[in-house]
Structure 1
């Protein structure tokens, strides 16, 4: 069995994970997560749609689905094996640090390819490289949540991740809106933030170092994709809940810019700024519920009821948006959905880590969990294409939003059979 070297303890300050870390660890940990979210979300929801609108305006929705779908496939293929490799790594730099550094550099390079891509194939290639790189970074960041943060505080730290995810679309849209109208700025600025933040975390992290041999073979890598849902039913239900609720959000956010221009009549010139404003409303709705329900959840130990209520709130907000005919009503619906999502992310990761099968390594287990967040990047484009094609009046955003509502409700129902979490 592999041994784990004791972490360095000289002049270090304890963080709430039982290991000794620099006092800068926790803020840089959260900042690194925000940097990756900013790069990925700004590219997926604003920068890439704008590029495709310029390069191929007649086929933009289909090409966006193709780009997102291929990037999603790559993330799904890579994340779980990277988690197992990380768990078994005997690198002197530690089991997470090499993936933080290498993944972020690769992701930033992919953003540069996107910035200079003169055609659609290179846009797709750049997005695949971006997704592959940041998949490694996200795997390491999520594994650090289990490595360093105890269960009694995990919901609050996970809630800060949720806040980062909520801030990222708002910040990314506004950032693209105020930057010069050049793709180099659209992609380069968020990539620079992600790179700087993760380099800071790499510099201060006192990582786990394995000193014993660790065998990672092809059979073990294939097992990285699998946690038996029959033997571990609580984990399976929690995984399905996260998958469905995430699909509901991705369905709306992924096509938000096109909804604003095609359905609500926002000009393409103003689309990035208006998208940022709408996502700012979403964030405002989510921030209060994130903070409140993460505190309630950690104090009471209850997760299921909060997840159920959050899914219903998300569905209600999406229904309001579905029937909106103007920007104000649409924004109100998005705010309500944001409140639901804020409550959801405040307990989601904490619940998932508490239903992990006994003995599962952090990187491997959390890599499987991450698939429930990453799989929607493949499923949503695949399902959105036929939904948007219903009828002959252009993209059918009504059908897309209705599908998102159904996914949110089913996600709430999926949490009810869980027995191991209150």
Structure 2
């Protein structure tokens, strides 16, 4: 078995064979990644946590929990299948614009058009169908954008790059909920803002950060059987890949259970009215924003400095677990604000280091980083399938007692913290 690279073993070129960025172009790429992931997560969190829950509740208030869980279940199936497949095909893309650019542009534009249309859908199933199309497009774009970190940065610099990405994602998610909460009374405008932003920033990204042409690169003949087999990564040969997958999966199971129903938690657990909850979700997000920004940047840079990843991921998941305890003992606004602060610190640190750790547990250099990172992304997507359904069933079984949701999330997050410990190729 080939030895997986350690933290200090920086290859001369990236996983794709593209030269690493240096100097001013490195900082331009870092800032561009921050903006793109900021916008993408603002879209996801604003739509998933605020806009869609409001639409679903308006259609059928009595069954809002079950309907929202069903919508996320259906959508996440398509998202989970799309991500690794799109990543694999981006590895095989040969064009004068490079491997990733066509996917970034097409996915963001199609996703923007269909997302803007969601606001005009009159029924549950029409909303679901249009959001599924948007999610497929956006999840076709995301693995190509994610793989840029592995393509263009050496391993010893990926903590900093991951810190920029993690800060963009977590801060964007926070700002997205604030913006969505403020615009929730005007759905067409709200959806249009997010749709226009993702298309514009992704187009600007590929213009400012030119990909290297892949036109002349050798390409193995496409065989469906070999293509499908490529999605299997042997746990015996690459155990670290699957430990990282398991840790990411369980942490997101816990995190997603709360985020999905945050608006309903404010309404039904804290006792706020709809208008007040839409405003307070922005306040909660603003608190998270401050903590996330500080935590993400400091964790990413500090991780590169001390050349360690695992302690940061472990500590971050423990802090996230502590955040989930607060609302159990303080079922009020103060408790939610405490949750917001701690989840920001923990989740910010987790996101900033998680991306760097993921790039370092990939299988040997096969030129399939897009596919492999796409597989690791399913550790985020699969919880989006299971977690809302699990949460809806828990709430149904325990008569809408949101304490059980916090307890279940706590179990998953604490479990996830221990899956990083067996990883041997990353310190």
Q: Same fold (TM over 0.5)?
A: yes
| Cα shift at 1:323 | 2.6
| Cα shift at 1:236 | 0.8
Q: Does 1:178 align with 2:182?
A: yes
Larger deviation, residues 179-188 vs 143-152: 179-188
- Count residues in correspondence: 409
Moved over 6 A (4+): 4-7
1:220, 1:99 → 2: CA distance?
22
Q: 2:194 aligns with which of 179, 190, 195?
A: 190
| Cα shift at 1:93 | 2.3
| Cα shift at 1:22 | 8.5
Structure 1: runs of 5+ lacking an equivalent: 8-13
| Cα shift at 1:6 | 7.4
After superposition, where does 1:388-403 map in structure 2 within 5 Å?
388-392=395-399, 395-403=400-408
After superposition, where does 1:238-317 map in structure 2 within 5 Å?
238-317=244-323
After superposition, where does 1:12-23 map in structure 2 within 5 Å?
15-16=21-22, 21=25
2:26, 2:291 → 1: CA distance?
33
- Taking a change above 3 Å as real, the CA distance of residues 22 and 154 of structure 1, as seen in their structure-2 partners, is closer
Q: Is contact 2:38–2:173 with CA below 8 Å preserved after alignment?
A: no
Q: Is contact 2:184–2:278 with CA below 8 Å preserved after alignment?
A: no
Q: 1:57 aligns with which of 57, 61, 65?
A: 61
Give the TM-score taking structure 2 as reference length. 0.91
Report the RMSD for the aligned CA atoms in angstroms: 2.0
Q: Does 1:381 align with 2:397?
A: no
Q: Does 1:328 align with 2:330?
A: no
Larger deviation, residues 170-179 vs 65-74: 170-179
2:365, 2:348 → 1: CA distance?
30
Structure 2: runs of 5+ lacking an equivalent: 1-15
3-state SS of 1:216 partner = coil
- Taking a change above 3 Å as real, the CA distance of residues 224 and 267 of structure 1, as seen in their structure-2 partners, is farther
Q: Does 1:359 align with 2:365?
A: yes
After superposition, where does 1:103-142 map in structure 2 within 5 Å?
103-142=107-146
Q: Does 1:421 align with 2:422?
A: no
Q: Does 1:216 align with 2:210?
A: no
Match of 1:10 in 2: none
Q: Is contact 1:83–1:364 with CA below 8 Å preserved after alignment?
A: yes
Q: Is contact 1:6–1:208 with CA below 8 Å preserved after alignment?
A: yes
Q: Which structure has the higher relative contact order (CA within 8 Å, separation 6+)?
A: 2
Q: 2:376 aligns with which of 352, 363, 369?
A: 369
